[in-house]
Amino acid sequence: MPIETWLTFLLGFMILGSIVALEIKDILSSIVAIGVVGLAVSLAFLFLQAPDLAVVQFLFEIFALIILVRAFIRKDFHVMERASSGRWIIGFTLIGLAAVFLLSLKVFRVLPPFGEPLMETSRYYLEHGAADTGAANIVAGIILDYRAYDTLGEVTVLLTAILGTLTVLRFRARDGKGGGR
Amino acid sequence: MTLYALCFALFLVGLYGLLTKRDLIKIILSSGIMGYACNLMLVLFGYRRGGVYPILERGREAGPMVDPLPQALVLTSIVIELGVTALLAALAIRLFQKYRTYDITKIRRLSG
Amino acid sequence: MTDKPAGMTLIIKTVCRLLVGLILLYGIYIILHGHLSPGGGFGGGVVLALGLLAVLLAYGREETLKWLRLGLLKDLEHASPLVFLLIGLAGTAWGGAFLANILSKGRLFALLSSGLILPLNVVIGLKVGLSLFLVVLAMAEFDLDKGAEE
């Protein structure tokens, strides 16, 4: 089977899973459905020849699942009786989003077709990456050598997000020994 | 072309959830769906027909490879997305601690 | 978590004690081979965090913190971007550009190759693993029922 068929199937599955996750009443089922969507994304990365991303997406999906379950699933948690807005708002939102979808279909025709990327910078990376960086994994060569500054910014964003989380949760390192102010 | 449109549809499903749901947990999940769609779209742009993964191997001659640049960008994006999800979850449970509800309309009402 | 018996049953504790070393070893393997195979600092860091998380879930919070020095972990986590920055500044000093790859490239496919990519991968793995573990720890000990205190 050509790769387009697989990817179409996977994307349809993802859309279905997302709708289920958003519309189902039970929160635990909702979170699990999101986990399934994330694993489908990981599978799609595998089909798209991106094993780096598949590994990372798989692991992060498991971790996100654990975080969400840890945060939101309680014994005394009750299902919300009206989780959605009113019927009018939903109707208008659906119409608006459908209009956006139909109007933007033309944009995708302008983009380079699937399977034929432009690869202007990447051609250089692929040809000279191994000699320039000495890394067999060209993706690692890009994120940690050619574009390491970008990665520094990413580490900073991660630090900020985690510090924000710890601050919001009033977390303190409580065993003395430095830290924990 | 079809794939791009489907990926955009996935993004719009996330946007729909973000706009219409009242539950904070559902809103966090919607933002996660939008993140998936963005990541997948970027990697879809980089696929090259007949290309292999951009990792050199001993004893394999260098054939055509897929575009490594979107993969490098998406790799960092996935991590940031997890950090943002954790931050949003922390904010949500703090709000729950204060207002005893995940319903954003009630939270707005209580804040006065 | 403040469950009545701290942690889970004896079977889970034993299995976890046997497995956690292997999980951490696998994480370190993924981090160190980041420039040769799929994975790298991000993936390996999550494996490290999941290994620590298995201990946290099996043994409960108090037991875990007895053999983990939390203050040290937190300092290490907050210092790792600084280490990244210092490596970058070393690149400025000796290589002429910020984050320039100043170490020897070595042979392709060798473990000790590709200069600065290996140490940077280690720093990122440390950062990602510890920060995710700290988040889960913070969520585990967050008391939802304390109510609005201010």
The vertex-B27 CA angle with B21 and B29, nearest 5°, equals 125
Q: Where are the domains of chain A?
A: 118-181
Instruction: Give the CA-trace dihedral at C96, C98, C99, C100, to 10 degrees.
Output: -20
| Closest residue by Cα to residue A45 from A36, A58, A35, A31 | A58
Partners of A9 on chain B (C-beta within 8 Å) are none
Q: Chain A contact for C49, CB < 8 A?
A: yes
pLDDT band of C138, cuts 50, 70, 90: confident
Chain B contact partners (≥3 CB pairs within 8 A): A, C
pLDDT band of B13, cuts 50, 70, 90: very high
| Portion 66-105 of A in contact with C at CB < 8 A | 66-67, 70-71, 74
Q: Average of pLDDT values for A15-22? A: 93
Q: Do A72 and B93 touch (CB under 8 A)?
A: yes
* pLDDT at site C71: 82
Partners of C114 on chain A (C-beta within 8 Å) are 133-135, 140-141, 145
* pLDDT at site A137: 85
Tens digits of residue pLDDT in B25-46: 889 999 999 999 999 999 998 8
* pLDDT at site A79: 59
Structural domains of chain B, ranges and CATH numbers in brackets: 2-111 (1.10.287.3510)
The per-residue pLDDT of chain A, averaged, comes to 84
Lowest mean per-residue pLDDT among A5-9, A76-80, A125-129, C57-61: A76-80
Burial class (CB in 10 A: 0-12, 13-18, 19+), C83: middle
Integer angstrom CA distances of residue C22 from A99, B78, C36, C53, C123: 53, 26, 21, 14, 21
Q: Which residues pair with B52 in a beta bridge?
A: B65
Q: Average of pLDDT values for A115-126? A: 83
What whole-number distance in Å separates Cα of residue A38 and Cα of residue A124? 32
For chain B, the C-alpha Rg in angstroms (whole number) is 20
ipTM: 0.89
* pLDDT at site A10: 92
The number of C-beta contacts closer than 8 angstroms across B and C is: 31
What whole-number distance in Å separates Cα of residue C150 and Cα of residue C148? 6
Residue A98, pLDDT > 90, answer yes
pLDDT band of A181, cuts 50, 70, 90: very low
- Does residue C77 or residue B112 have the better pLDDT? C77
Q: Do A145 and C72 touch (CB under 8 A)?
A: no
- Does residue C7 or residue C91 have the better pLDDT? C91
Best of C126, C135, C143 to mutate (most B CBs within 10 Å, chain B): C135
Which of C84, C115, C136 is closest, CB to CB, to A67?
C136
Residues in chain A, total: 181
Partners of B97 on chain C (C-beta within 8 Å) are 144, 146-148
pLDDT band of A117, cuts 50, 70, 90: confident
The vertex-A172 CA angle with A168 and A173, nearest 5°, equals 145
Residue C3: φ, ψ to 5°: -70, 160
Quote the percentage of chain C above a pLDDT of 90. Answer: 18
* pLDDT at site C142: 77
What whole-number distance in Å separates Cα of residue A164 and Cα of residue A69? 20
Q: Chain C: residue nearest B74 by CA? A: C42
Partners of B81 on chain A (C-beta within 8 Å) are 60
**B106–chain C nearest CA distance, Å:** 16
* pLDDT at site A36: 93
What whole-number distance in Å separates Cα of residue A103 and Cα of residue A99? 6
* pLDDT at site A96: 94
